[in-house]
């Protein structure tokens, strides 16, 4: 999942981005409202964490312009403004959630996870595809009831594919949603991650859940469609 953090406090930028990345999210960070708007328009983020009092452009204006262009990206406002009027104004302008500073990092994380699930019309934090069960909250994966050890990147890739289960996901989309830094055009990090996932999630004799669609990308599904 890829997040955009628009926050002018460098210390919050540092701690939140570190925490969110450690939790398995790809995070882009900016401290300027205009730059945040530009990034929100140029990249398909799963969730945007938006401060209100920003240099360059006020957070509400950023939010208004994002919504004016038809974006459905989930946006959570993170601000010190705590009055009812502020919260109502933020939500009415188009925010999906509102969190007042100071906040608990775990609460922010839980809200981000909830918004990510909402992005893919999922209510249950546990995803089950065949014999594979993914706990998006606990960041755990099990196969036939036995835990499977995945690297953070493998988990992010699997989670993203599972969220879009039944849909073909391009390599670029996977890169965009799981890597904080742009992957090299010639890099095969996605392919190698998929390969590793196939090995870990498909014991010998079992059909693979991750299918390659030539020229299109990958699909997580129970059975491969006939070519």
Partner 1 sequence: MSTIQRRLTLVLAITGSLLGTVGGSALYMTVRKDLVAGFDSVLKTRAEGVAAFITEPKTKPAKSGKPEALEVPEHHLPSWFQLLSLTGESIERSPSLGKGDLPRPPSFNESVQFWDLTLPDGLPARAVGLRFVPQKSTNRAEAASGAQAPEEFVLLIARHRGGLDQALSQISSRFIMVGAFLFVANLAVVILVVRKQLRSLSSLAAGVATIEASSLQTRFPAHSLPGELRPICERLNDLLARLEASFNRERRFTADAAHELRTPIAELRSLAEVALKYPGDNLSTRQALQDALAVAGEMESVTTGLLALARCEAGLLQKDFEPVSLWPLCKGILAGVSAQVQAKEISLSIEDPKDSCWLSDVAALRVILTNLVTNALEYTPQKGVVRILSDSEGEIHRLCLSNTAIHLVPEDLPYVFERFWRKDACRSSKFHSGLGLPLAKALAESVGLQLRAELSGSDQFIVILSGGKLCTPTLSKGTDESKAGAVFGETELACSASKPAQDAEAGDGCTSQEPQESGLVTNPYLR
Binding site for partner 1 (CB under 8 A): 8-9, 11-12, 14-16, 18-19, 22-23, 53-55, 80-82, 100-106
* Nearest CA-CA partner of 218 in 171, 180, 160: 171
Beta-strand runs (E) in the chain? 2-6, 26-30, 47-50, 74-79, 97-100, 126-129, 132-135, 140-143, 146-148, 168-169, 210-213, 217-220
Comparing CB distances to partner 1, the nearer of 80 and 195 is 80
Comparing CB distances to partner 1, the nearer of 140 and 198 is 140
Q: Can you tell me the distance from the alpha carbon of 55 to that of 88, in angstroms, rounded to the nearest whole number?
A: 22
Closest distance between partner 1 and the C-beta of residue 65, in Å?
17
218's tokens: 């990958």
Comparing CB distances to partner 1, the nearer of 104 and 186 is 104
* φ and ψ of 57, to 5 deg: -155, 140
CA atoms within 13 A on the CB side of 26: 24
Comparing CB distances to partner 1, the nearer of 19 and 130 is 19
What H or E segment, with its residue span, contains residue 43? none
Any idea what the Cα angle at residue 25 is, between residues 180 and 64, rounded to 5°?
85
Q: Are 41 and 71 in contact (CB under 8 A)?
A: yes
Closest distance between partner 1 and the C-beta of residue 103, in Å?
6
Closest distance between partner 1 and the C-beta of residue 15, in Å?
4
Closest distance between partner 1 and the C-beta of residue 213, in Å?
36
| Residue found by looking up tokens 């608990």 in the block | 104
Closest distance between partner 1 and the C-beta of residue 78, in Å?
8
Comparing CB distances to partner 1, the nearer of 129 and 156 is 156
Q: Can you tell me the distance from the alpha carbon of 83 to that of 21, in angstroms, rounded to the nearest whole number?
A: 30
Comparing CB distances to partner 1, the nearer of 19 and 125 is 19
Closest distance between partner 1 and the C-beta of residue 137, in Å?
14
Closest distance between partner 1 and the C-beta of residue 37, in Å?
15
Comparing CB distances to partner 1, the nearer of 86 and 131 is 86
Residue 147 DSSP SS3: strand
Q: Can you tell me the distance from the alpha carbon of 111 to that of 159, in angstroms, rounded to the nearest whole number?
A: 17
């Amino acid at each position: 999942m890829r997040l955009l953090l628009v926050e002018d406090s460098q210390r919050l930028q540092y701690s939140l981005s570190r925490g969110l990345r450690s939790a398995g999210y790809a995070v882009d960070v900016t401290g300027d409202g205009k730059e945040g708007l530009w990034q929100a328009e140029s990249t398909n983020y799963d969730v945007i964490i938006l401060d209100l009092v920003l240099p360059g452009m006020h957070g509400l204006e950023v939010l208004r312009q994002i919504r004016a262009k038809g974006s459905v990206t989930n946006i959570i406002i993170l601000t010190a403004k705590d009055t009812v009027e502020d919260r109502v104004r933020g939500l009415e302008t188009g925010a999906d959630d509102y969190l007042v500073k100071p906040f608990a990092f775990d609460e922010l994380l839980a809200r981000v996870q909830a918004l990510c699930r909402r992005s893919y019309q999922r209510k249950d934090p546990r995803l089950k595809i065949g014999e594979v069960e993914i706990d998006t909250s606990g960041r755990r994966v099990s196969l036939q009831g036995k835990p499977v050890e995945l690297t953070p990147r493998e988990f992010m890739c699997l989670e993203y594919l599972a969220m879009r289960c039944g849909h073909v996901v391009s390599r670029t989309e996977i890169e965009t949603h799981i890597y904080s830094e742009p992957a090299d055009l010639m890099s095969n990090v996605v392919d190698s991650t998929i390969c590793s996932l196939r090995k870990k999630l498909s014991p010998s004799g079992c059909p693979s859940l991750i299918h390659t669609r030539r020229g299109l990308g990958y699909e997580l599904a129970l059975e491969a469609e006939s070519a």
